[in-house]
C-alpha cells in the first residue's frame, strides 16, 4: 500500500455536539454586541424572532454553552454523507513544487453538493419538532435552496424557495434538483407576496436580487401561521451547526499523524463554511495555547472583511432583518455578478467580524480570474472539481504553499473545500474561453455605499 491519502472517520467518530464559539469569546477579550431591532434600534429578544424561527434555534443563537448536543435524528441524516473525508493533496503539492503539507476537508459529498445541509438539516428538524409545517427561504445560485429542500424532505416539511429570477432562468437544473426533493420553487420577484407584487408593478422585467428574495421569504413566513423562515449563513446558530467540519478535521489530522496546522484557510461570504472549519481551531488558539494562522479569503467583488467597516448595519437590503455589528459594505451594496454566487453578500457574520476586529483571524480578497486559475491547477492534480466559492480557499492555500516553496518551510496547511463544481461548468467554460471579467470597486463607491449605514450602536 502506498501513502495515506484520505482520512475517513467511522460513524462512531462523528461529533456528538456542535461547538459554540460564543462560550470562548470572552477569553479572547470579545464581547459580542447584541443584534438590534431594525425598527426600534433596541436589542432584540426571543419574542422578536419567534415569528421567523423556532425557539430551539433562537436559544442556540444566544446560547453561551460551549457544546450543544446534536439530536439523534439529525445525526441519522448527517450519516448520509458525514463524516466527510479529509484528503492530503499529495499530487497538488507535487504540482506546486512545495514542501508544504496540504490537507483539505471535502464537503462536496452531501446530497446537494456543499456544506449547506450541515445546518439545513438541524433547522428543518427543530422546526418539525415545534410543529412547523412549512419553511420559506430565498436562494441565489441555488446551493442553500437545494440544501433546505433536501432537509425539509427528510423531516416531512413543505418548502417554498424564492429563487432570484436571473438564477432561476440561468440555472434551471438547480430548480429541478429542489423539485425532485418536493420543494416549490418560484422566481423572485413573484406575484405570491406583497413585496414581490410591488416590485413587479414597478418593473415587470425585474431580474430580482437576493435582497428582494429575502423580503419575499420573510413576508411568507410572517404571514402564515404554519410557516417559518430559514437562513443559510451569517447567524450564530448557522455557524454553530457547521462546526462539525472543523471538529472532524481535528480528529482526522490526529489520525493522520499530521502536525498541528500552521494555517487554516476558508472562503467567506456570510461566514458559514469559514466558521465551520475555523472556530474549533480558534478555540485551540484561545484556550489551548495553539498558534494557527486563520485566513479568510473573500472575493474582490464583495470585500466586506478587507474593505468594509465594523459597524451596525441591516442584514438585508429591505431593512427587515435585525441590525448586526459586523464588517459591512453597506446594505445597499450590490456585489458584481461573479460566479461565486454564495459569496455575494454585503455583510459578514457577527462572530467572524468580531474575531477579525480582535485580530484573531486574517482576511484577504482576490479576483475571480485568479481563483479559477487556482481551481484548474487543483483539479488537474487532485481530480475533484471545486465550486467557485471554495476555489477562493484553494487560491488562499496555494499562496501559502508557494510562500513555503520560497522559504523552504514544510508547513501544514488545511483548507475547507466546501462544495463541488458540477453546477458551475458554465463558469469554467467562460474562464477557459478568456471571457470571465474581473470586478473591482474604487474606494469612492464603497464610501458612498457606507453612507447608508444606520446611526446606532
**Contact status: 257 vs a copy of itself (CB under 8 A):** no
**Contact status: 387 vs a copy of itself (CB under 8 A):** no
Residues 6+ apart with CB under 8 A from 133: 157, 158, 226, 227
Distance CA 140, CA 162 (A): 9
Rounded to a whole number of angstroms, the minimum distance from the CB of residue 203 to a copy of itself is: 28
Rounded to a whole number of angstroms, the minimum distance from the CB of residue 352 to a copy of itself is: 29
Stretch that binds a copy of itself, among 4-12, 124-132, 212-220, 242-250 (CB under 8 A): 4-12
Tell me which residue of 286, 369, 357, 362 sits closest to 328, measured CA to CA: 357
Rounded to a whole number of angstroms, the minimum distance from the CB of residue 375 to a copy of itself is: 8
Rounded to a whole number of angstroms, the minimum distance from the CB of residue 9 to a copy of itself is: 8
**Contact status: 379 vs a copy of itself (CB under 8 A):** yes
Q: Which is nearer to a copy of itself, 207 or 379 (CB)?
A: 379
The contact pattern for a copy of itself, residues 411-430, with x = CB under 8 A and - = no contact, is: -----------xx-xx-xx-
For 312, phi then psi, to 5°, come to: -70, 135
Range 27-35 contact pairs with CB under 8 angstroms and sequence separation of 24 or more: 27/286, 27/287, 28/282, 28/286, 28/355, 28/358, 28/360, 29/358, 30/354, 30/355, 30/358, 32/350, 32/351, 32/354, 33/312, 33/325, 33/350, 33/354, 33/457, 35/322, 35/323, 35/324, 35/350
Residues numbered 118-177 forming contacts with a copy of itself, rule: CB under 8 A? 150, 153-154, 172-173, 176-177
Among positions 5, 17, 307, 405, the unique one binding a copy of itself when judged by CB under 8 A: 5
Distance CA 180, CA 215 (A): 25
Among positions 200, 222, 376, 446, the unique one binding a copy of itself when judged by CB under 8 A: 376
3 state DSSP class of 102: strand
Residues numbered 180-199 forming contacts with a copy of itself, rule: CB under 8 A? 180-182
Q: Which is nearer to a copy of itself, 50 or 180 (CB)?
A: 180
Tell me which residue of 44, 115, 337 sits closest to 210, measured CA to CA: 337
Tell me which residue of 330, 334, 298 sits closest to 312, measured CA to CA: 330
**Contact status: 6 vs a copy of itself (CB under 8 A):** yes
Query: What are the cell numbers at 206?
Result: 425585474
**Contact status: 10 vs a copy of itself (CB under 8 A):** yes
**Contact status: 113 vs a copy of itself (CB under 8 A):** yes
Tell me which residue of 164, 144, 451 sits closest to 328, measured CA to CA: 451
Query: What are the cell numbers at 356?
Result: 477579525
Residues numbered 20-79 forming contacts with a copy of itself, rule: CB under 8 A? 72-73, 75-77, 79
**Contact status: 249 vs a copy of itself (CB under 8 A):** no
∠210-20-274 over CA atoms, to 5°?
A: 45
DSSP state of 272: H
3 state DSSP class of 365: strand
Q: Which is nearer to a copy of itself, 162 or 181 (CB)?
A: 181
**Contact status: 179 vs a copy of itself (CB under 8 A):** yes
Distance CA 140, CA 401 (A): 32
Q: Which is nearer to a copy of itself, 151 or 221 (CB)?
A: 151
Among positions 382, 388, 401, 453, the unique one binding a copy of itself when judged by CB under 8 A: 382
**Contact status: 17 vs a copy of itself (CB under 8 A):** no
Q: Which is nearer to a copy of itself, 5 or 403 (CB)?
A: 5
∠280-285-290 over CA atoms, to 5°?
A: 110
**Size of site (CB under 8 A) for a copy of itself:** 53
Stretch that binds a copy of itself, among 2-10, 33-41, 123-131, 232-240 (CB under 8 A): 2-10
DSSP state of 342: G
Rounded to a whole number of angstroms, the minimum distance from the CB of residue 418 to a copy of itself is: 16
Interacting residues toward a copy of itself by CB under 8 A: 1-12, 16, 72-73, 75-77, 79-81, 83, 87, 90-91, 109, 111, 113, 150, 153-154, 172-173, 176-177, 179-182, 376, 379-380, 382-385, 422-423, 425-426, 428-429, 432
Amino acid at each position: 500500500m502506498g501513502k495515506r491519502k484520505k482520512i475517513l472517520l467511522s460513524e462512531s467518530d462523528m461529533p456528538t455536539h456542535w461547538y459554540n464559539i460564543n462560550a470562548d469569546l470572552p477569553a479572547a477579550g470579545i464581547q459580542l454586541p447584541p443584534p438590534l431591532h431594525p425598527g426600534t434600534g433596541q436589542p432584540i429578544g426571543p419574542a422578536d424572532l419567534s415569528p421567523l424561527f423556532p425557539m430551539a434555534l433562537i436559544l442556540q443563537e444566544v446560547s453561551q454553552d460551549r457544546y450543544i448536543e446534536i439530536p439523534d435524528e439529525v445525526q441519522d441524516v448527517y450519516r448520509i454523507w458525514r463524516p466527510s473525508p479529509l484528503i492530503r493533496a499529495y499530487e497538488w503539492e507535487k504540482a506546486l513544487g512545495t514542501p508544504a503539507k496540504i490537507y483539505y476537508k471535502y464537503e462536496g459529498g452531501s446530497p446537494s453538493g456543499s456544506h449547506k445541509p450541515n445546518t439545513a438539516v438541524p433547522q428543518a428538524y427543530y422546526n418539525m419538532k415545534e410543529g412547523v409545517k412549512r419553511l420559506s427561504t430565498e436562494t441565489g445560485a441555488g446551493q442553500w435552496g437545494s440544501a433546505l429542500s433536501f432537509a425539509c424532505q427528510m423531516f416531512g416539511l413543505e418548502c417554498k424557495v424564492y429563487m432570484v429570477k436571473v438564477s432561476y432562468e440561468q440555472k434551471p437544473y438547480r430548480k429541478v434538483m429542489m423539485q425532485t426533493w418536493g420543494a416549490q420553487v418560484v422566481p423572485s420577484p413573484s406575484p405570491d407576496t406583497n413585496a414581490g407584487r410591488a416590485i413587479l408593478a414597478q418593473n415587470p422585467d425585474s431580474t430580482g436580487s437576493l435582497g428582494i428574495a429575502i423580503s419575499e421569504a420573510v413576508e411568507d413566513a410572517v404571514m402564515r401561521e404554519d410557516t417559518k423562515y430559514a437562513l443559510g449563513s451569517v447567524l450564530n446558530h448557522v455557524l454553530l451547526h457547521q462546526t462539525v467540519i472543523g471538529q472532524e478535521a481535528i480528529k482526522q489530522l490526529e489520525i493522520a499523524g499530521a502536525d498541528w496546522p500552521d494555517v487554516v484557510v476558508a472562503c467567506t461570504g456570510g461566514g458559514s463554511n469559514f466558521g465551520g472549519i475555523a472556530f474549533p481551531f480558534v478555540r485551540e488558539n484561545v484556550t489551548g495555547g495553539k498558534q494557527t494562522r486563520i485566513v479568510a479569503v473573500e472575493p474582490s467583488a464583495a470585500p466586506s472583511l478587507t474593505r468594509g467597516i465594523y459597524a451596525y448595519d441591516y442584514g438585508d437590503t429591505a431593512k427587515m432583518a435585525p441590525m448586526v455589528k459586523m464588517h459591512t459594505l453597506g446594505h445597499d451594496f450590490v456585489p458584481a455578478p461573479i460566479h461565486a454566487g454564495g459569496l455575494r453578500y454585503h455583510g459578514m457574520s457577527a462572530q467572524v467580524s468580531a474575531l477579525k476586529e480582535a485580530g484573531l483571524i486574517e482576511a484577504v480578497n482576490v479576483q475571480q480570474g485568479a481563483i479559477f486559475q487556482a481551481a484548474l491547477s487543483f483539479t488537474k492534480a487532485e481530480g475533484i472539481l471545486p465550486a467557485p466559492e471554495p476555489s477562493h480557499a484553494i487560491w488562499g492555500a496555494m499562496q501559502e504553499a508557494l510562500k513555503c516553496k520560497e522559504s523552504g518551510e514544510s508547513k501544514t496547511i488545511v483548507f475547507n473545500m466546501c462544495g463541488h463544481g458540477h453546477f458551475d461548468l458554465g463558469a469554467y467554460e467562460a474562464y477557459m474561453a478568456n471571457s470571465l471579467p474581473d470586478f473591482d470597486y474604487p474606494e469612492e463607491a464603497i464610501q458612498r455605499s457606507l453612507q447608508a449605514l444606520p446611526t446606532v450602536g
